[in-house]
Amino acid sequence: MPAQLTDIIDHNLKVLFCGINPGLKSALDGHHFSGRSNRFWKVLHQSGFTPEQIEPENDTTILQSGLGLTTAVARATARADELSKEEFKESIEIFKTKVEQFQPQYIAFLGKPAYIAFSGKKQISWGLQADDFCGAKVWVLPNPSGLNRGFSLDDLVRHYAELYQVISRIN
């Protein structure tokens, strides 16, 4: 079984990006979004969050931009749809504790499944959500995984840039 991926987190972040769960390569490498087809780092840079594209092995430098990384479920899988509803249920309290401890301004869920499981809502839309989560505003973004063929790179950048525009007005 691959090692678990370590959170990259600090107090009072502008945005805590929350992936569904680690991919097998990321867990094995010990670096977030290290899968060759994952577009997270490229999208993050192109949407304005980081001054240059971060390489997965330098993932901790994301903290310098007031951003952090975590996952909803710790178990690594080849595909997020391999997770059970029970795994999400078992992860909710751990995630709530993390958010309460570190108090990010925003949580950006990467994909709808984790926020649907954590909020109990049946349907959600992309973007800003009406309800906060443990004091943090919630934004739902398309998952940047290469397996997510429903969103082109340009689509992803547009969605992420909407959040960037909002947080850039805050500070």
Domain 15-169 has CATH 1.10.10.10: no
Residue ranges for the chain with pLDDT beneath 70: 1-3, 170-171
pLDDT tens digits, 2-37: 467 899 999 999 999 999 888 888 888 899 999 888
Instruction: Bin 131: left if φ > 0, else alpha if -120 < ψ < 50, else beta.
Output: beta
Between strands 137-141 and 106-110, the pairing is parallel
Which residues on adjacent β-strands are paired with residue 71? 19
What's this model's pTM, rounded to 2 decimal places?
Answer: 0.92
Contact assessment for residue 122 and residue 116, using Cβ atoms and an 8 Å cutoff: yes
Contact assessment for residue 75 and residue 105, using Cβ atoms and an 8 Å cutoff: no
Residue 157's H or E segment, with its range, is: helix 153-170
CA pseudo-torsion sign 114, 37, 34, 77:
positive
